[in-house]
Chains A and B, each alone.
Chain A
Amino acid sequence: MNQIYQDFFQLLKSSLQNTKTQIQLSPNYEEILKLASMHKVIPLIYEASYKTESFKQIDQNFCKYFKTTSMQIIYSQIQRSDKFLQLYEKFNQEGLKILVFKGIILRELYPIPDARISGDEDLLIEKRYLKQAIEILESNNMKRVISEEEEADVYHYFCQNTGLHLELHTTLFGVKSITNKKMEEIFSTVFENSDTININNIDIHTFSIDNHFLYIICHAIKHFVSCGTGIRQICDISMYINKYHQNINWDYIWKETTILDYDTLLVNLLQIAIDYLGLEENKIVYQKDKSEYFINTEDLIEDIMEGGIYGASTQARLNAANMSLDALNKESKSKLKSNLAAIFPKAENLKGRYKYLEKYPVLLPLAWASRILTYTKERGSLSSVGATAKETIAVGNRRMDLLKEYKLIK
C-alpha cells in the first residue's frame, strides 16, 4: 500500500477513535486533502490532522484553507441536522411513524457527529402516511425536486435555506432486479421490528440494530457491485460494530449475508476495519473459522481508495457500473456482452439521468446518442470518447474480476 494511503488511514483511525495519532506522521497533506475530498471525509481527516506536530510546520495558508473548508462543511451539516430534527419532531407530533435510516443515525456513532457528513437524509414511510408527510414537508419550506412522478419509490425534498435534502422512500430496494427482490424480502419487517433512539431530545424511529447493521452492509455492497464503495461506508460499519457489538445477532447477519453471497466480501471489509480503522477483532463473531474464507484486502483497498465515495471518482467507473450490474444479474455470460452493456446500457440503468426513459423507453437510442454527445463535449473529441470507452471497459473488466475474487459472481 502506498504511503499516502497509509498516512490517510492513520489519520482517519485517530479521528474515529478521537485520539491524537501516536505515530510521528509527516504526510503529504495536499494529497491527503484530495483523498479526503474524494471520500467526503474532510472534517474527519482535519480533526486528526491539526493535532499532529507535522501539521504545525506546513504552509499556513494551506492549513487555513483546510481548516476553513472543514469548518464550512461541518457548519452546514449542523444546520441540516437541526432542520431535519425539527421536521422529524413535526412528524412525531402528527403521530407519523417514519423510519430514519443511515444519515443522522450513523452520524451519532462518531465522536463529533456532524464531522461525518451526509449528502441527504433517508426516511422510509408506509404509503398510507405519504400524503400527510408531504403536507408537513411542504408547509415547512421543503420543495419537491428531481422528479415530479406521482407514484415514485422515492420522493426527494429540498430545503433551500439549509441545503437539507430528504429522500422519502416508499420502498427500500424496489423489485427491479433479482438481488433487489431478495433484499426487499429480507427487510420486509423493518416497521414491525423498529427501535427508537433519542437524538437531541427527539425520539427517532429507526430500524432495529440487526436490520440497520445488515442494511448498511447491503448498502455498501450494493455500491461496491455498482461503481464502488468508499472508505466512509467501511467507517460506518466499523463504528456501528464498535457501538452495538454486544447487541448484534451475528448468526442472523451471517445467515442473510451468506444467502446473498456477500459473506466473503463482508469478511474482507471487516478485515480492513480491523487492520486500518482500529476496530477490535474481538467485537466480531464469525460464523466459521476465518481461515476458511478467502481474505485479500490489497485489491479491495486499491479499488475502494481509488474509487472515492460510492466509487464515483471517474466517468469511466460510473460507466463501468453497467458491466458489473449486468454480470451480477447473470444476464451476460460473456465479457463482450458486458462490455457492450457499459457502452449501450439498458433503459433501466439510464432512467436516473434521462428522465424521459421512464415514460418512453422506446427513446433508448436517443439516450445513447445524448450520452455519447455529452462525452464528446466533456472530452473534446470523438476520439477521446473512444478513449473513455476503452478506459470504461478496462475499469469494468477489472471490477468484474474483483466481483469474482470476492465471490459476488461465479
Chain B
Amino acid sequence: MKIKKEFITRNIVGETILVPVGKTATEFNGLITMNDVGVFIWENLELVGNENEMLNKILSEYEVDEKTAKEDMEEFLDILKKADII
C-alpha cells in the first residue's frame, strides 16, 4: 500500500494524530486521530503489499480475534481511502 500524501504523526493531548504538511496542508482540512492499532497500521502501511498482509501483521502484534481486527482495520483503511490518503 502507498501513502499518497504528506502527513506527520504526533502525540498530543493524549491522542495520536495525523497532521497534513507541505502541499497536503493546503489540500486536506480534516483531523485524523488514531488509537494504538491505527498507529500500528499507519506505520506499517508502506511495508505491506495488501490488506491480508496487514491483517496478519496486526494478528501477530495484538491479542485480538481475527474478526475484530479485520473490522477495525477495514474501518480505518476506509477513512484513509475516502480521504484519498492511500
Instruction: Decide if A82 touches B21 in the complex (CB within 8 Å).
Output: yes
| Contact of A47 with B13 at beta-carbon distance under 8 Å, contacts A75-B31, A79-B25 already known | yes
Interface size grouping (class) on chain B: 10 to 19
Bound Cα distance A122, B21 (Å):
21
| Contact of A43 with B8 at beta-carbon distance under 8 Å, contacts A79-B19, A79-B20 already known | no
What is the CB-to-nearest-CB distance from A42 to chain B, in angstroms, rounded to a whole number? 10
Bound Cα distance A51, B14 (Å):
9
| Contact of A114 with B25 at beta-carbon distance under 8 Å, contacts A71-B31, A75-B19, A75-B31 already known | no
Which residue from chain B places its CB closest to the CB of A162 in the assembled complex? B25
For A66-89 the 0/1 string (1 means CB < 8 A from B) is 010011001100110011001000
Instruction: Decide if B19 touches A50 in the complex (CB within 8 Å).
Output: no
Q: Which residues of B contact A79 (CB under 8 A)?
A: 19-21, 25
Bound Cα distance A78, B19 (Å):
7
Instruction: Decide if B21 touches A112 in the complex (CB within 8 Å).
Output: no
A46 at the binding interface (Cβ < 8 Å)? yes
State which residues 13-44 of A face B: CB under 8 Å. Answer: 43
Q: Which residues of B contact A114 (CB under 8 A)?
A: 10, 12
Which residue from chain A places its CB closest to the CB of B15 in the assembled complex? A71
Residue tally, chain A, CB below 8 Å to B: 20
Bound Cα distance A44, B53 (Å):
40
Bound Cα distance A47, B15 (Å):
11
Bound Cα distance A330, B13 (Å):
48
Instruction: Decide if B25 touches A74 in the complex (CB within 8 Å).
Output: no
Bound Cα distance A39, B25 (Å):
27
Bound Cα distance A147, B22 (Å):
27
Instruction: Decide if A74 touches B10 in the complex (CB within 8 Å).
Output: yes
State which residues 7-52 of B face A: CB under 8 Å. Answer: 8, 10-15, 17, 19-22, 25-26, 31
Instruction: Decide if B11 touches A161 in the complex (CB within 8 Å).
Output: no
Instruction: Decide if B10 touches A78 in the complex (CB within 8 Å).
Output: yes
Which residue from chain B places its CB closest to the CB of A51 in the assembled complex? B14
Q: Which residues of A contact B14 (CB under 8 A)?
A: 50-51
Q: Which residues of B contact A227 (CB under 8 A)?
A: none
Bound Cα distance A50, B12 (Å):
11
> Which residue in A46, A82, A161 is a CB contact (below 8 Å) of B13?
A46
Bound Cα distance A162, B26 (Å):
8
Q: Which residues of A contact B25 (CB under 8 A)?
A: 79, 82-83, 161-162
Instruction: Decide if A82 touches B22 in the complex (CB within 8 Å).
Output: yes
Instruction: Decide if B26 touches A78 in the complex (CB within 8 Å).
Output: no
Bound Cα distance A46, B13 (Å):
7
Q: Which residues of A contact B8 (CB under 8 A)?
A: 78, 82
Bound Cα distance A86, B17 (Å):
21
Instruction: Decide if B13 touches A70 in the complex (CB within 8 Å).
Output: yes
Bound Cα distance A43, B14 (Å):
11
Q: Which residues of B contact A161 (CB under 8 A)?
A: 25-26
Q: Which residues of B contact A82 (CB under 8 A)?
A: 8, 19, 21-22, 25
Bound Cα distance A162, B28 (Å):
12
Q: Which residues of A contact B11 (CB under 8 A)?
A: 112
Which residue from chain B places its CB closest to the CB of A82 in the assembled complex? B21
Instruction: Decide if B12 touches A112 in the complex (CB within 8 Å).
Output: yes
For A112-128 the 0/1 string (1 means CB < 8 A from B) is 10110000000000000
Which residue from chain A places its CB closest to the CB of B23 in the assembled complex? A161
Bound Cα distance A23, B22 (Å):
42
Task: Kindly name the residue among B15, B17, B20, B25 whose own CB sees the greatest number of chain A CB atoms within 10 A.
Answer: B25
For A148-192 the 0/1 string (1 means CB < 8 A from B) is 000000000000011000000000000000000000000000000
What is the CB-to-nearest-CB distance from B28 to chain A, in angstroms, rounded to a whole number? 11
What is the CB-to-nearest-CB distance from B62 to chain A, in angstroms, rounded to a whole number? 25
Bound Cα distance A114, B10 (Å):
9
Bound Cα distance A70, B31 (Å):
13
Instruction: Decide if A71 touches B22 in the complex (CB within 8 Å).
Output: no
Nearest first, the 6 closest Cβ-Cβ pairs linking A and B are: A82-B21, A78-B19, A161-B26, A74-B12, A70-B13, A79-B25
A–B Cβ pairs within 8 angstroms, 5 of them: A67-B13, A71-B12, A71-B31, A75-B19, A82-B25
Could you list 16 further interchain pairs (A-B, Cβ under 8 angstroms) beyond the known A51-B14, A74-B10?
A: A70-B12, A71-B15, A74-B12, A74-B13, A75-B19, A75-B31, A78-B19, A82-B19, A82-B21, A82-B25, A83-B25, A112-B12, A114-B12, A115-B12, A161-B25, A161-B26
Binding site for A on B (CB under 8 A): 8, 10-15, 17, 19-22, 25-26, 31
